[in-house]
A and B are shown apart, each in its own frame.
Chain A
Amino acid sequence: MTSLLKIADVRRAFGDVAALDGVSLDIREGEFFALLGPSGCGKTTLLRILAGFETPDSGTVTLGGDDLTTVAAHRRPVNLMFQSYALFPHLSIEKNVAYGLEREKLPKAEIRERVAEVLDRVGLSGAAKRRPHQLSGGQRQRVALARAIVKRPKLLLLDEPLSALDRKVRAEMQLWLKQLQHEVGITFVVVTHDQEEAMSMADRIAVLNHGRVEQVGTPVALYGAPRTHFVADFIGGNNFFPGTAVEGGLECPGIGPLPGAGEVAAGESAVLAVRPEQIRIGGGGTPVLRGTVLDVSFYGGTSRIAVRVTGMATPLLVRQQGAAQVVPETEVDLVWETADGVLVPPPVTTGTGASDAA
């Protein structure tokens, strides 16, 4: 796949706060790309720079080789689907969708044809004459999407596309968005703070934090091989052990040597991240740790077991398929493979602990 959008060393500050602190990204043609990060990480600023509502202080943005930053928002071959959808309340659905084509001064017959075609694609042909306030949240979202893709942009930006929908509709739209992207072949860049949303839809994800790109990769790569503490913590649940990197793992003070692998040189301080589902309770192999079961919660498909380990400030979390075979207050052996422990450089503020965001 060829590169479509090139973002090189883009910086943007608001007063003393650097919203974007040297961001470089390469987004490929036809890709479903996600910008993922917590609120205030700069993802919305980057989106607004791509749409043309903000200008970077420095850095370049090119689309298909052409400089984008000097082009006014209304002349860019880029469209944005707003978080609020921003449907025009005084216009019918049909007129909302036709608005962008009318600005291109296309012949009336062509506009009619393209509007009908796109409304059919999003399944809203019957609602053409209605006003936005007469539609449900999911329908409004589809109108907003239709209004953006009818322009046939080179790049479609989506700002938190599913955040305004309730849980059930969200799962449905997630699948639908992915299929639609596949069908129309437009490059999608979606901004979200929801890691599950990004993981389930995107081909590749850029994780942003404090205006910097932490890591870019496929959902599987980000989950299985996080390169920074932030990525390991933000995507999925993880158990963290601080210490010093050694050959074949980590020396954790007060706990001992733990198996793991990663891109941290031996002798440097590091954090070992182990996914809850990679830890086995008993069942052969050399035990890595021993602990006492504190609590067992059953979630239907999976169980979560909290284990107290001497030397750790917070309980270790273990996830198992189905119902757990252990009961609280029993002593258990904990095992994981060397490849399943991921060594990452320590965060700015270190601490022993576990998190379970998923």
Chain B
Amino acid sequence: MIKRIPFWFSYVFLYVPILVVVVMSFNAGDSPYSWSGFGLGWYGELLGDEEVRTGLVNTLIVATGSTALATVLGTLLAVGLARHTRSKVLDAIATLPVILPDIVMAIGLLAFYTLIQLTLGLYSVLLAHAVFGTAAVAAVVRTRLASSDPSLEEASRDLGANGLTTFLRITLPTLAPGIVAGALLAFTLSVDEFVIAFFTAGPQSPTLPIVIYSMVRFGVTPEINALATVLLAVTFTAILAVQRLTKLTERR
């Protein structure tokens, strides 16, 4: 038992803040700090909040749109990297935007939008999120490609399939688990992204994290906790789905 103490300590350290958020979201009282009985009132409040609803819709539009774009571009990027380059550097740079500091991406994108005189709106966030989403999808699909047999495509051509048929019938299906996992990752990253969205969103189109930020500035209420819990549930579901898919992939 004693041997396991460091393990459990670390685990608790990891999850206490999250646990606090979730527990306090069910507080019946007004304070996010002191417990005064169980209640679902703040979830009701959340549903009725116009601003939160707008933020949520905006976030879903951005996440869905950027994921769709990122999935197509990221898959093409990964296939292209595997097929047309031998350069390790090019390979590494392609997936760099995922781990690049958000603030760097944010400033860069803002500068770029200003340069091309683009009016900021929801689509500017969507495009910005598609940038790191593309890198994320490419990174996941690239791993999948590395473990698949390169002669599969040649075998398809040998059996009489042209380039397009080979891509649709052989390349895409063998990459499918990687593509879906990459898409879920891009979606999750987009849903809770704040810094880049803050820089690139128009004033009339805040995403959910921006809405939360402006709410917190006027004091934290358990409504924020309820909202955080909902986001948490969405993210958790996506991550678990990614893990399941990865396992399915490994079994083949």
Chain A residues near B (Cβ < 8 Å): 51-53, 73-75, 79-80, 82-84, 86-90, 99-100, 103-104, 133, 147, 151
Interface residues of B in 167-212 (CB under 8 A from A): 169-170, 173-174, 176
Q: Which of B74-82, B131-139, B155-163 contacts A (4 or more CB under 8 A)?
A: B155-163
Contacts of B149 in A (CB 8 A): 84, 86
Ordered by A's residue number, 14 sampled pairs between the chains whose C-beta atoms are within 8 Å are: A53-B157, A73-B154, A74-B161, A75-B160, A80-B154, A82-B151, A82-B154, A83-B151, A84-B149, A89-B252, A99-B169, A103-B159, A103-B165, A151-B160
User: Do the beta carbons of A74 and B151 come within 8 Å of each other?
Assistant: no
Chain B residues near A (Cβ < 8 Å): 148-149, 151-152, 154-162, 165, 169-170, 173-174, 176, 252
User: Do the beta carbons of B252 and A86 come within 8 Å of each other?
Assistant: no
- How many contacting A-B pairs (Cβ < 8 A)? 61
* Whole-angstrom CA separation of A9 from B159 in the bound complex: 28
* Whole-angstrom CA separation of A147 from B152 in the bound complex: 13
* Whole-angstrom CA separation of A86 from B156 in the bound complex: 9
Q: Decide if the interface of chain B is mainly helix, strand, loop or mixed.
A: helix
From the candidates A82, A90, A104, name the one contacting B160 in the complex (CB within 8 A).
Answer: A104
User: Do the beta carbons of A147 and B159 come within 8 Å of each other?
Assistant: yes
10 A-B pairs besides A53-B157, A73-B157, A88-B155 with CB distance below 8 A are A79-B158, A80-B158, A83-B151, A84-B151, A86-B149, A86-B152, A86-B154, A99-B156, A103-B159, A133-B252
User: Do the beta carbons of B173 and A90 come within 8 Å of each other?
Assistant: yes
* Whole-angstrom CA separation of A178 from B165 in the bound complex: 34
* Whole-angstrom CA separation of A84 from B150 in the bound complex: 10
Contacts of B165 in A (CB 8 A): 103
* Whole-angstrom CA separation of A52 from B159 in the bound complex: 12
Which 10 A-B pairs give the minimum distances between C-beta atoms? Answer: A100-B159, A103-B160, A86-B155, A86-B151, A90-B173, A74-B157, A73-B157, A82-B151, A80-B158, A74-B160
Contacts of B160 in A (CB 8 A): 74-75, 100, 103-104, 151
Given contacts A53-B154, A82-B154, A133-B252, contact A88 B170 (CB under 8 A): yes
* Whole-angstrom CA separation of A53 from B157 in the bound complex: 9
Contacts of B169 in A (CB 8 A): 99
User: Do the beta carbons of A79 and B252 come within 8 Å of each other?
Assistant: no
Q: Which residue of B lies closest to A99 (CB)?
A: B159
Distance (whole angstroms) from the CB of A101 to the closest CB of chain B = 9
Distance (whole angstroms) from the CB of A39 to the closest CB of chain B = 17
Contacts of A88 in B (CB 8 A): 152, 155-156, 170, 174
Q: Which residue of A lies closest to B154 (CB)?
A: A53
Contacts of A73 in B (CB 8 A): 154, 157-158
User: Do the beta carbons of A51 and B161 come within 8 Å of each other?
Assistant: no
Contacts of B155 in A (CB 8 A): 80, 82, 86-88
From the candidates A52, A80, A83, A90, name the one contacting B174 in the complex (CB within 8 A).
Answer: A90
Distance (whole angstroms) from the CB of A212 to the closest CB of chain B = 26
* Whole-angstrom CA separation of A198 from B162 in the bound complex: 33
Contacts of B156 in A (CB 8 A): 88, 99
Distance (whole angstroms) from the CB of A15 to the closest CB of chain B = 13
Q: Which residue of B lies closest to A73 (CB)?
A: B157
Contacts of A80 in B (CB 8 A): 154-155, 158
Q: Which residue of A lies closest to B160 (CB)?
A: A103
Distance (whole angstroms) from the CB of A111 to the closest CB of chain B = 13
User: Do the beta carbons of B161 and A103 come within 8 Å of each other?
Assistant: yes
Distance (whole angstroms) from the CB of B217 to the closest CB of chain A = 51
* Whole-angstrom CA separation of A82 from B148 in the bound complex: 15
Contacts of A51 in B (CB 8 A): 154, 158
* Whole-angstrom CA separation of A147 from B165 in the bound complex: 18
Distance (whole angstroms) from the CB of B251 to the closest CB of chain A = 8
Distance (whole angstroms) from the CB of B145 to the closest CB of chain A = 13
Distance (whole angstroms) from the CB of A276 to the closest CB of chain B = 40
Contacts of B152 in A (CB 8 A): 86, 88-89
Distance (whole angstroms) from the CB of A69 to the closest CB of chain B = 16
Contacts of A75 in B (CB 8 A): 160
* Whole-angstrom CA separation of A76 from B148 in the bound complex: 26
* Whole-angstrom CA separation of A99 from B161 in the bound complex: 9
User: Do the beta carbons of A151 and B174 come within 8 Å of each other?
Assistant: no
From the candidates A74, A90, A104, A133, name the one contacting B158 in the complex (CB within 8 A).
Answer: A74
* Whole-angstrom CA separation of A89 from B148 in the bound complex: 9
Most buried by B among A80, A86, A104, A151: A86
* Whole-angstrom CA separation of A159 from B158 in the bound complex: 13
User: Do the beta carbons of A79 and B174 come within 8 Å of each other?
Assistant: no
Q: Which residue of A lies closest to B158 (CB)?
A: A80
* Whole-angstrom CA separation of A151 from B160 in the bound complex: 9
* Whole-angstrom CA separation of A82 from B157 in the bound complex: 12
Distance (whole angstroms) from the CB of A72 to the closest CB of chain B = 8
User: Do the beta carbons of B162 and A74 come within 8 Å of each other?
Assistant: yes
Most buried by B among A79, A87, A89, A147: A89
* Whole-angstrom CA separation of A74 from B158 in the bound complex: 5
Contacts of B252 in A (CB 8 A): 89-90, 133
Contacts of A82 in B (CB 8 A): 151, 154-155
Contacts of B154 in A (CB 8 A): 51, 53, 73, 80, 82, 86
Distance (whole angstroms) from the CB of B55 to the closest CB of chain A = 40
Distance (whole angstroms) from the CB of B143 to the closest CB of chain A = 16
* Whole-angstrom CA separation of A104 from B161 in the bound complex: 9
Distance (whole angstroms) from the CB of A81 to the closest CB of chain B = 9
